């Protein structure tokens, strides 16, 4: 899963499921990105004349912001996730046992 051992042992089953789904989605996005890259490389290889690089880069700049978290490395993602958990646990109401 790519998370720190201490973080793992502090997760509830529901939070573990959320973390696993997010991790799966991240890996699917990486596979899609890799496949798209291979497709574009092959398409460019077949071109007699390469398109203007400035045009391609400006197209990318215009679409920036759509997948801001796709390229977040595992350490950063784990730190962000840990911060969210800390915030959730800090605001967690105290649970009292029956009879106390």
CA–CA separation, 29 vs 36, rounded Å? 10
CA–CA separation, 30 vs 12, rounded Å? 27
CA–CA separation, 22 vs 69, rounded Å? 11
Q: Write down the H helix ranges in the chain.
A: 5-9, 13-46, 53-62, 74-90
pLDDT for the residue 60: 78
Q: How confident is the model at residue 65 (pLDDT cuts 50, 70, 90)?
A: low
Cβ atoms of 70 and 33 closer than 8 Å: yes
Rounded average pLDDT over 87-92: 60
Secondary structure of residue 52 in the 3-state scheme? coil
> Is the predicted pLDDT of residue 56 greater than 60, yes or no?
yes
pTM surpassing 0.85?
no
> Is the predicted pLDDT of residue 74 greater than 90, yes or no?
no
């Amino acid at each position: 899963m790519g998370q720190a051992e201490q973080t793992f042992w502090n997760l509830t089953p529901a939070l573990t499921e959320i973390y696993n789904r997010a991790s799966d989605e991240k890996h699917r996005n990486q596979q899609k990105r890799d496949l798209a890259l291979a497709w574009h490389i092959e398409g460019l290889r077949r071109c007699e004349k390469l398109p203007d690089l400035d045009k391609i880069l400006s197209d990318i700049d215009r679409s920036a912001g759509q997948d801001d978290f796709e390229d977040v490395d595992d350490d950063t993602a784990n730190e962000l996730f840990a911060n969210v958990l800390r915030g959730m646990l800090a605001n967690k109401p105290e649970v009292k046992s029956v009879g106390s």
